Amino acid sequence: MKNMTLQHGLNWAREKLKTSCERPQFEAELLLAHHLGKERTYLILHPDEVVTDAAGFEGLVKRRVDNEPYEYIVGEASFYDIHLKVAPGVLIPRPETELLIDEVANIIEREKITSIAEIGVGSGAISIVLARKFPNLKIIATDICDAPLRIAAENAEAFGVCEQVTLCKSNLLDEVKESVELVVSNPPYIAEDFVLEKNVAAYEPKEALFGGREGDELLRQIILDVKARGVKWLACEMGYDQKEPIQAFVNEVGVKSVRFYKDLAGYDRGFVIEFM
Ligand SMILES: C[S@@+](CC[C@H](N)C(=O)[O-])C[C@H]1O[C@@H](n2cnc3c(N)ncnc32)[C@H](O)[C@@H]1O
C-alpha cells in the first residue's frame, strides 16, 4: 500500500489480524510500533504520518496472520521483570514459569543456597531472573540444543550475569561435574500425541515441548538423576495432569517430602522435592 498513514496502517493490520489474534487492534499497534521503533503512544499522537517501509510492515503482519508467535516476529519476550531475546529454536518463556522462580527463590532465601543447576535453560529465563535476584548465586545451566545455549548466552551477557551463569551443553546434568544444592527445571513435559495450538506446533521447537510418550518421562529421569547425585532440592514445572503419576513415582523412589503447587488458574503446575 503506497503512502499508508499510521492510522490507515493500523486499520489495515487490525482487519488482517482478526482471523489469527484475539486482540487484533492491540497487536496491530504493537507490530506497527515495533516496525517504527517507537512507543504505541506515538501512533496515536501522529495518525497522519506516513509509514516508512510499508512493505516491511505488511510483511510483519503477514507473518502474524500465518500464526507465527508475536515474540518470534519482534525477537523478544517479556518475562518476570525483564525482556529476553528469543528466536526460532528457543521456547518463548511462559508466564506460569514465573511461579517456578518464586518457589525456587523462597528456598534459596530460606536455605541460604549459593549454588544451583538448571536443566533446559532455553532463553535463559529462569537462570537470568534468579541470578538478578541473588547476586551471590552461581548457576550451571544446561541445554541439549545449540540454539537455546546461543540465545541464553546473549541474554546473560545483556543482563550482565555471565559471571554467575555458566552455560553447558549437556543431556540433563550428565556433563555437570560440580556439586550443587538445588536443581530447577522446566523440562519438556507434553505427551507425544497431544494436539498443540497451531502457533505452538508450527513454530516452537519440539525438543522444548515433548517429554516422551506419556510426557513425564524426562521429569522422572530428572528426579532419579538429582537423587542419585545427592542434591537436596529439586523444583520442576509439570503438566496440569501429571500430579498423580509424579506423586506415585516419587513414593516409589522415596524422598523426604514433595509439595505440589498450582498456577493462578488453579491447575497443578509443578512440584518441589526435598530429598532425604
Ligand atoms: C520447556 S523448555 C524451557 C526453557 C526455559 N527454561 C523456560 O522455562 O522458558 C525446555 C528446554 O529443555 C531443553 N531440553 C530438552 N531435552 C533436554 C535434555 N535431555 N537435557 C537438557 N536440556 C533439554 C530444550 O532444548 C528446551 O530448551
In short, whether 148's Cβ falls inside 6 Å of ligand 1 is yes
DSSP secondary structure letters along 148-200 = HHHHHHHHHHHTT-TTTEEEEE-STTTT--S--SEEEE----EETT----HHH
- In this structure, the strands spanning 268-274 and 233-237 are antiparallel
Cα–Cα distances in angstroms (integers) from residue 4 to residues 13, 17, 62, 222, 260, in the given order: 11, 17, 16, 54, 53
From first to last of the 276 residues of the chain, give the pLDDT tens digit: 668 999 999 999 999 999 888 999 999 999 999 999 999 999 999 999 999 999 999 999 999 999 999 999 999 999 999 999 999 999 999 999 999 999 999 999 999 999 999 999 999 999 999 999 999 999 999 999 999 999 999 999 999 999 999 999 999 999 999 999 999 999 999 999 999 888 888 899 999 999 999 999 999 999 999 999 999 999 999 999 999 999 999 999 999 999 999 999 999 999 999 998
- In this structure, the strands spanning 138-143 and 165-169 are parallel
Displacement of CA 31 from its chain's centroid (Å): 21
Other beta carbons less than 10 A from residue 114's beta carbon: 13
In a mutational test of the pocket of ligand 1, which residue from 98, 102, 121 has the highest number of ligand atoms less than 8 Å from its CB? 121
The closest-lying atom of ligand 1 relative to the alpha carbon of residue 92 is 9
Cα(16) to ligand 1 centroid in Å equals 34
Domains and CATH numbers, the chain: 6-66 (1.10.8.10), 89-274 (3.40.50.150)
Distance CA 49, CA 56 (A): 16
In a mutational test of the pocket of ligand 1, which residue from 167, 207, 219 has the highest number of ligand atoms less than 8 Å from its CB? 207
Instruction: Give a three-class secondary structure readout of 19-46.
Output: CCCCCHHHHHHHHHHHHHCCCHHHHHHC
The C-alpha cell at 11 is 486499520
Q: Which residues of 195-228 are buried (b: 16+ CB within 10 A; e: fewer)?
A: eeeebeeebbbeebbbbbeebbbbbbbbbebbbe
Task: Take atom 6 of ligand 1 and give the residue whose Cα is closest.
Answer: 121
In short, whether 168's Cβ falls inside 6 Å of ligand 1 is no
Cα(124) to ligand 1 centroid in Å equals 10
pTM equals 0.94
